[in-house]
Structure 1
Amino acid sequence: MIHESTLPYQGGQGGSNLKSIFNLIITSYLLPFVVWKRGKYYLKVDKNGTSQECPNCGAITGKKSLSERVHRCDSCGHIEPRDTASAKVIENRGKNAVGLTVLENACGGDLTGVVQLNLFDLVKSL
């Protein structure tokens, strides 16, 4: 099972435009196709608020500056690197979407911002 956060394409910024286009192609077409061919499940999850949500208890910890690299939750005392915490939040949202048991998310258990792709939509987009 693969859960991916949605990242907007920002073309024309900087000198690495070719790299941005290549990354867009991989995440939009190649990755879903390879996952489908291997019989696995692919899901895009909204990235909004992943650095503000605690992966352990689901509490909102507030906005952080880019220089703040550690996630600290005042509600449960959970501490870990910020990027790791965001990845776990994305995983929790993906598990919620497919009905696996995880902790309730900050949205109160509803799947706001989760987009599920089925096999037919995936094949039509190729």
Structure 2
Amino acid sequence: MPLNLLSRSFSPGKSPPRRSVSLSSLRRESDKVGQDLSHDFSKIRLNIGGQNATFEDGEWVSEGGSKGRVSSREVARLRQENQTLLEENNLLKLKVELLLDMLTEKSADTLIKDKEISRLKSR
């Protein structure tokens, strides 16, 4: 005996026609939308581990607070250490390139010698 669950066909009712919405920016539904977006978003503020910073004119500026203050001597020391590490990094990159060149040269010499040995053996 077949089930009569699927005996009726599905026929949804017609949906009402949609109203066209004006895309004109001259008419706003309410002025509240503009007021909600009027907050001051010109400065981005960040707080990480008690240290506050603000992004102004393309740079992060440390804000006041006893924890967040860094002395100018500490900044100079960190800049010097950064410069030293950059120079060391460049030197190490140069050494790696030199070693790779030497390895390539030795590999090519070995390949040439192996070909020469196999050519002499075949005679």
Alignment TM-score, normalising by the size of structure 2: 0.18
Higher Rg of the two aligned structures: 2
Question: Which structure shows the higher helix fraction?
Answer: 2
Q: Which has the higher relative contact order, 1 or 2, with Cα contacts under 8 A spaced 6 or more apart?
A: 1
Alignment TM-score, normalising by the size of structure 1: 0.17
